[in-house]
Amino acid sequence: MKPVLLTGASGNLGRHLAKTLAEKGWTLRLTDIAPFPDPLPAGATFVKADINDGVALLRQAEGCGAILHFGGVSVEKPFEEVFGPNLRGPYHVYEAARREGARVVFASSNHSIGFHERPTGNQAKLDYDCDFRPDGYYGLSKAYCELMGRMYWDKHGVENVNLRIGSCFPKPIDRRMLSTWLSYADLTRLVERCVVAERTGHAVIWACSDNPASYWGKDHRDRIGWAPQDSAEPYRGEVEHITADPVTERYQGGGFTAMEYSRQKPSPRDAFSLED
């Protein structure tokens, strides 16, 4: 298998993937703007670089068969802080993938659709082709990069898998994560299938474990042969706390939706409705 480039290698998810994918015998090229904090895994190299630097990224991607794009700002920040890493950075990733004929696996986020309300009762879950409803500049950048992947697929045939990651932590830490939690083990299995699948085209996958309370429905997981094996349900007794913020509790994006929220009434289920 060709080498695999992992951006954002020094972040929590990047460090986990570097370790677990190296254990599978993969040849990894790791990069991040921050130093790699752990012992370098066998078969891996690390280069400190900024994804705003297109030349550096192109050099790292030479000969790679896949780019795992986990780099960039990973939480809600002011627009100017998000702009470079999360809007310019993905362009450099896709240009490198186009040149090398590589597949992109993009760490997207549930925050690209965070202003959809949480389903209750018999309401339908969201499918992969739902409208983008980002809940902040971070979520907006994720929607932008998913659309970039669609454009590079339509225009250049660059295969890409967009992982709408819910909440990837060692275990759920609040009630919302009963719906959104993705275990570290399920993340590794998901990324592995994204890389080794024969074909992906342009795909979207709800990256969460097998949670009965999940907000999300149809996606393209069958295309890559992935099924989550873990579940948040065993932790239900530990995380029943509900926040006092009605905005946080109403929308799928949780606390991100409440940041700098200034509406007097909740936004409508239909984003184009005139009704509040």
pLDDT, tens digit (0-9, with 9 covering 90-100), for 250-267: 999 999 999 999 998 888
Closest CA to 161 of 122, 119, 197: 197
pLDDT at 276: 61
Confidence class for position 231, pLDDT limits 50, 70, 90: very high
Mean pLDDT of 226-234: 97
Q: Which domains does the chain have, with CATH numbers?
A: 4-258 (3.40.50.720)
**Average pLDDT for residues 39-63, to the nearest whole number?**
96
CB atoms within 10 A of CB 22: 17
pLDDT per residue as tens digits for the range 93-105: 999 999 999 999 9
Q: What's the rounded mean pLDDT across residues 93-120?
A: 97
Q: What whole-number percentage of the chain has pLDDT above 90?
A: 90
| Predicted local distance difference test score (pLDDT) of residue 273 | 81
For position 88, what pLDDT does the model report?
95
Could you give the 3-state DSSP secondary structure of residue 140? helix
Closest by CA to 210, choosing from 240, 190, 193, 196, is 190
Give whole-number Cα distances, 124 to 117, 156, 225, in Å.
Answer: 11, 35, 24
The C-alpha atoms of residue 258 and residue 76 are separated, in whole angstroms, by 11
Mean pLDDT of 36-56: 96
Report pLDDT for 268: 82
Q: What is the largest CA-CA distance in the chain?
A: 57
State the average pLDDT over residues 222-245: 91
For residue 244, pLDDT over 80 is answered with no
Question: Is pLDDT at 180 greater than 70 in this prediction?
Answer: yes
Across residues 206-221, what is the average pLDDT?
Answer: 97
Question: 261 an active-site residue?
Answer: no
Rounded percentage of the chain residues whose pLDDT exceeds 70: 100
Least confident of 103-107, 122-126, 190-194: 122-126
Taking 90 as the threshold, does the pLDDT of residue 272 lie above it?
no
Task: Please tell me which residue in 138, 152, 215, 251 is annotated as part of the active site.
Answer: 138
Confidence check: pLDDT of 274 > 80: no
Task: Share the mean pLDDT of the chain.
Answer: 95
Q: Tell me the mean pLDDT in the region 9-24.
A: 98
